[in-house]
Amino acid sequence: MLEDYVKAMRPEDEELAAGIKDAREALNACQMKIKEAGLPVMVIFEGWGAAGKGSVLGKVIRNIDPRFFKVKTYAAPTEEEKRYPFLYRYIKDIPEKGKFTFYDTYWMEEITDARMDGSMSDAEYEERIDSINRTERTLVDNGYLVMKFFFHIGKKEQKKRLDELLADKDTKWRVDKSDLYENKHYDESLKVYDNYLKDTNSPTAPWYIIDAKDKKFAELQVLEFLNSGIDTALKNKDLAVPILQNTYKLKKTPKLKEIELKGKTLTEEEYDQRLDELQKELRQLHYKLYRKKIPVIIAYEGWDAAGKGGNIKRITGALDPRGFEVLPIASPEPHEKARHFLWRFWTRLPKTGHIAIFDRTWYGRVMVERIEGFCSENDWQRAYNEINEFEKELSDWGAVVIKFWVQIDKRTQLKRFKERQATPEKQWKITDEDWRNREKWNQYEGAIDEMIQKTSTEFAPWYILESVDKKYARIKALEIVIDRIKKACD
Amino acid sequence: MLEDYVKAMRPEDEELAAGIKDAREALNACQMKIKEAGLPVMVIFEGWGAAGKGSVLGKVIRNIDPRFFKVKTYAAPTEEEKRYPFLYRYIKDIPEKGKFTFYDTYWMEEITDARMDGSMSDAEYEERIDSINRTERTLVDNGYLVMKFFFHIGKKEQKKRLDELLADKDTKWRVDKSDLYENKHYDESLKVYDNYLKDTNSPTAPWYIIDAKDKKFAELQVLEFLNSGIDTALKNKDLAVPILQNTYKLKKTPKLKEIELKGKTLTEEEYDQRLDELQKELRQLHYKLYRKKIPVIIAYEGWDAAGKGGNIKRITGALDPRGFEVLPIASPEPHEKARHFLWRFWTRLPKTGHIAIFDRTWYGRVMVERIEGFCSENDWQRAYNEINEFEKELSDWGAVVIKFWVQIDKRTQLKRFKERQATPEKQWKITDEDWRNREKWNQYEGAIDEMIQKTSTEFAPWYILESVDKKYARIKALEIVIDRIKKACD
């Protein structure tokens, strides 16, 4: 893309000035439309060192009310940041509906730097590219506008600018080693950039190469692309999005009705003994995975009153409190609802060596949100694949992903609801909503069957915990957790 | 406190077991009361290395539903964390109303470590202690329960435990150098800890020394102190809190009515020329303060339609977008309302070298919250001092704190409201709420006069921007910002 880039035609001064004035006003007028339409806009500035990204960015944001945008910049990742998935710190900063995030360099730079210094293999690079393409597509599919600009200047022009910056003590610090290296190895860098741009250029999130030799002209190009991008996105806002076919290998799974619950019981003695043994084993494994820096994600879903809470407690009872977190998931708060539905899970991921236990999860999308109509059919239909991709991301990062469905039958649920109501300390656990959900048992059952079928991947399989006898379910959960962690530690 | 600590009496085994059982049940029963009362609880575990903090903590949290607590641990601060005020990372983690945060070591360790290795002077230490006492008091005054436990063991016992841990390859990594150092220099450490405990032992957030030689007994002590602390806090929930007298030197300030607005104007030519000069100067200064790592906090308050937005734009127009953030403050979101009123500002502080511009601020507490009755009289009466202390904290950290009151008269406001309503692109800026606030002009005026008078400290003074002519106000703001930053850079 860079190698065969044909320079844009710079207008004459007067025309240029008039064009900028118009484009600035157009962007200014856009911001209210964006707000009303609830369109979240990600604008990415990448490019050569000293190409003038910062100065054009400064001019672009002047046309937008500070209520509607954030500017985010990223240095090389810190040791702490390296303990999260590669995309974590960028996804944390995605805009809310109706707002802009301007990324003054994002994940591209981290990758191209690593390619240049040879620290990223071809295989790793391929994996990253896949992950980025998935991520950008899923953002766009969920209503994000992603505008990517690459600021392009030639070798000589870059050299001239770096020399100028270096000559003044107030600007000298703005030139870092990598800029000088980049200029010295301009052709190699060009190749690396060009590959990245090609590899991540998609019809829904395309790259725009900005001819950045002239600053005013660069501003005009960015403004015009941005305005036209916004225009298109606003027009397309209500279009349905293609539902991608699953591309991961799926396991064969039973329907809920086919799951045998009878006979899955343990005596008190069996339970006490196994619990003690397994908790001891898990305690040791916890230290091991901490040392090996393996992140573990345990997702709990199940019928109301199936015994999720008590099950989780038997896991956490074995763990060092400094190394795990239980994350109870309620309905999203306003600032969460205003972002991609996976955002509130991305931002709750454990760091390497830690365990995160989600009490209810991202599967709300294809259960409660589907059944209560909190999202469109197009949204939840797409979500199976989006979720598989999300879990692939976690698994590629090195995480152990364990998903539990805690299963009981309808009669058992009724018995437990009544018990809860009769026990003062447990009354808070039962709400009108639980009764309402119960009335929709059959609808939920269908949704759950579909969910388990469509998201039982090799890297993030579902495990059924038969929980009419809670003791049985607890021991089974512990055994599975131990087994998975053991395999990951080896 | 440690030196003259008299050991608690360990009960006989049977009594101990029964006591633990009762205390666990009592804590379990507490959690719903805490939730209903909206009591936020901070529980702090400090103590000697290998004293068993983690293991007791693990047992304590087993009695609490995961929905109601978080466990937070802290390593030595990273380079990134060092760019924020000392308390920042701890305050970020304070609990919401009705929930617990367990701190497995908090700010004490950071300070005592620095005292031990000699990197913190007496003067710095005094400043830290003052700041901690202020912070803990203000948390308690705002409804937090702060329970602080110190796990105490003798030198020999510690040696024995460290040796045991070192002997096993699965536990070896849990012993770090500082533990060994601590044991070797037990008496010195004791002195440092003892001083810290004495210096931060206050009637509202006292220390509890836990005799940690016997693990079960340690658990019992923690549970009983915790239960009794919660009990007391629940009983005292609605007590009014003493309103502390201001202890900082205050500047003499005019009442709003006395501020001369007439004649504070500039011609277009004067304005254009000064604006250009000042923005150029500020642009250079921005780089300078970035290099010197000075954080700048600019707080804007003012009447609706006084011209805050345009004023801010003239500041940001001169700045590199990578080094500042404008933070528009609307009414708090649910998760913000559930915490101390200053929390949402703490978490938005700039890092060193950056500028944060707040469009409306923490002064909402003594304006809109006071007038609309969103907090109690006791709350806003206390807030003047709490705000002065907060700004003292920022100033001690090295921040330049600039507070602008943008002043217009009532007639000018009416004129601007009408203009906004008549201009389609500006209609979104004027809401029914603006009109309702206008009706309360006199009430607001009284509150603002009191606010300016009580919070005009030397370290965080108010500046009045006469803004009937917006050009005048903009130039004045730029001059003040430049002047303050210049002084800070020298």
Q: How many domains does chain B have?
A: 2
The residue to which tokens 């029964």 are assigned? B18
Tell me how far CA of residue A375 lies from CA of A187, A337, A369, in angstroms. 48, 11, 6
Of the three residues A173, A206, A235, the one that is the final residue of a domain is A235
The pLDDT value given to residue A185 = 95
Q: What mean pLDDT value characterizes chain B?
A: 94
Residues of chain B in contact with residue A78, where contact means CB-CB under 8 angstroms, are 78-80
Q: Can you list the positions of beta strands (E) in B181-266?
A: 207-211
The residues with which B213 forms a beta bridge, in sequence order, are none
Check if B331 contacts A (Cβ < 8 Å).
Answer: no
Residues of chain B in contact with residue A319, where contact means CB-CB under 8 angstroms, are 58
Check if A334 contacts B (Cβ < 8 Å).
Answer: yes
ipTM score assigned to the predicted complex:
0.72
Sign of CA dihedral A192, A194, A197, A203: negative
Q: Does residue B244 belong to any structural domain of this protein?
A: no
Phi-psi sector, A239: left (phi>0), alpha (psi -120 to 50), beta: beta
Residues in chain B: 490
Check if B215 contacts A (Cβ < 8 Å).
Answer: no
Same domain, residue pair B199 and B55:
yes
Q: Mean per-residue pLDDT for A74-92?
A: 92
pLDDT confidence band for A446 (50 / 70 / 90): very high
Name the residue in chain B with its Cα closest to that of A425: B29
Q: Which residues contact B233 (CB under 8 A, 6 or more apart)?
A: B39, B41, B145
Q: Does residue A246 belong to any structural domain of this protein?
A: no
Distance CA A463, CA A466 (A): 10
Choose from B34, B82, B326, B429 for mutation: most chain A CBs within 10 A. B326
Of the three residues A235, A270, A304, the one that is the final residue of a domain is A235
**Of B62, B325, B359, which is closest to A70 when you measure between CB atoms?**
B325
Q: Which residues contact A276 (CB under 8 A, 6 or more apart)?
A: none
Tell me the backbone φ, ψ of residue A471, rounded to 5 degrees: -60, -45
Q: Does residue A240 belong to any structural domain of this protein?
A: no
Sign of CA dihedral A139, A140, A145, A150: positive
Check if A240 contacts B (Cβ < 8 Å).
Answer: no
Check if B127 contacts A (Cβ < 8 Å).
Answer: no
Q: What percent of chain B has pLDDT over 90?
A: 87
Query: Which pLDDT tens digit goes with each residue over B89-126?
Result: 999 999 999 999 999 988 999 999 999 999 999 999 99
Residues of chain B in contact with residue A326, where contact means CB-CB under 8 angstroms, are 66
Same domain, residue pair B382 and B285:
yes
The residue to which tokens 């001690």 are assigned? B396
- B54 and A322 within 8 Å at the Cβ level: the answer is yes
Same domain, residue pair A82 and A203:
yes
Q: What mean pLDDT value characterizes chain A?
A: 94
The pLDDT value given to residue A47 = 96
| Residue A402, pLDDT above cutoff 80 | yes
Query: Which pLDDT tens digit goes with each residue over B162-198?
Result: 999 999 887 888 898 889 999 999 999 999 999 999 9
**B136-161 as b/e, with b when 16 or more CB fall inside 10 Å?**
bbbbbbbbbbbbbbbbbbebeebbeb
Distance CA A358, CA A349 (A): 10
Same domain, residue pair B63 and B158:
yes
The pLDDT value given to residue B247 = 84
Same domain, residue pair A303 and A177:
no
| Residue A441, pLDDT above cutoff 90 | yes
Q: Does residue A1 belong to any structural domain of this protein?
A: no
- A170 and B287 within 8 Å at the Cβ level: the answer is yes
Q: What is the CATH number of the domain that holds A160?
A: 3.40.50.300
**Of A80, A309, A335, which is closest to B78 when you measure between CB atoms?**
A80
**Of B65, B71, B78, which is closest to A78 when you measure between CB atoms?**
B78
Query: Which pLDDT tens digit goes with each residue over A292-310?
Result: 999 999 999 999 999 999 9
Check if A359 contacts B (Cβ < 8 Å).
Answer: yes
| Residue A244, pLDDT above cutoff 90 | no
For residue A172, give the 3-state DSSP assignment: helix
Cβ pairs bridging A and B (under 8 Å) = 102
Pairing label, strands A296-302, B69-73: unpaired
The pLDDT value given to residue B8 = 80
| Residue A3, pLDDT above cutoff 90 | no
**Of A62, A174, A328, which is closest to B66 when you measure between CB atoms?**
A328
The pLDDT value given to residue B426 = 82
- In this structure, which long-range contacts are made by residues A213-218, counting pairs with CB atoms below 8 Å and at least 24 apart in sequence? A213/A153, A213/A154, A213/A157, A214/A10, A215/A52, A215/A55, A215/A56, A216/A16, A216/A17, A216/A20, A217/A8, A217/A10, A217/A11, A217/A16, A218/A52, A218/A56, A218/A151
The pLDDT value given to residue A227 = 95
Tell me how far CA of residue B368 lies from CA of B303, B371, B381, B466, in angstroms. 12, 5, 13, 22
- Asked if residue B266 lies in contact with residue B272, where contact means CB atoms within 8 angstroms, the answer is no
Q: Which residues contact B338 (CB under 8 A, 6 or more apart)?
A: B38, B40, B96, B97, B98
Q: Does residue B174 belong to any structural domain of this protein?
A: yes
> Which residues does chain B have with pLDDT short of 70?
none
Residue B105 belongs to what domain range?
13-235
Q: Does residue B283 belong to any structural domain of this protein?
A: yes
Q: Mean per-residue pLDDT for A213-240?
A: 92
Query: Which pLDDT tens digit goes with each residue over A155-210?
Result: 999 999 999 999 988 788 889 888 999 999 999 999 999 999 999 999 889 999 99
Same domain, residue pair B204 and B339:
no
Check if A62 contacts B (Cβ < 8 Å).
Answer: yes
Same domain, residue pair B184 and B300:
no
Q: Helix (H) and strand (E) counts for chain B? A: 19, 10
**How many angstroms separate the CA of residue B350 from the nearest CA in chain A?**
13
For residue A73, give the 3-state DSSP assignment: strand
Q: Which residues contact B387 (CB under 8 A, 6 or more apart)?
A: B342, B362, B363, B365, B366, B455
Same domain, residue pair B156 and B281:
no
**How many angstroms separate the CA of residue A404 from the nearest CA in chain B?**
17
Q: Does residue A331 belong to any structural domain of this protein?
A: yes
Q: Does residue A197 belong to any structural domain of this protein?
A: yes
- B322 and A65 within 8 Å at the Cβ level: the answer is no
The pLDDT value given to residue A96 = 96
Q: Which residues contact B444 (CB under 8 A, 6 or more apart)?
A: B367, B371, B437
Check if B247 contacts A (Cβ < 8 Å).
Answer: no
**Of A73, A170, A359, which is closest to B284 when you measure between CB atoms?**
A170
Query: Which pLDDT tens digit goes with each residue over B207-244?
Result: 999 999 999 999 999 999 999 999 999 998 888 888 88
pLDDT confidence band for A29 (50 / 70 / 90): very high
- A287 and B57 within 8 Å at the Cβ level: the answer is no
Tell me the backbone φ, ψ of residue A207, rounded to 5 degrees: -90, 145
**How many angstroms separate the CA of residue A252 from the nearest CA in chain B?**
33
**How many angstroms separate the CA of residue A241 from the nearest CA in chain B?**
32
Same domain, residue pair B173 and B268:
no
Q: Which residue, among B311, B293, B294, has the nearest Cα to B302 in the 3D structure?
A: B311
Q: Which of residues 293-312 of A touch B (CB under 8 A)?
A: 309, 312
Same domain, residue pair B268 and B322:
yes
Of the three residues A205, A235, A265, the one that is the final residue of a domain is A235
Same domain, residue pair B278 and B149:
no
CA angle, B322 as apex, B319 and B324 as ends, to 5°?
A: 55
| Residue A325, pLDDT above cutoff 90 | yes
Same domain, residue pair A226 and A338:
no
Q: What percent of chain A has pLDDT over 90?
A: 87
Distance CA B314, CA A248 (A): 53
Distance CA B320, CA B291 (A): 13
| Residue A426, pLDDT above cutoff 90 | no
Check if B319 contacts A (Cβ < 8 Å).
Answer: yes
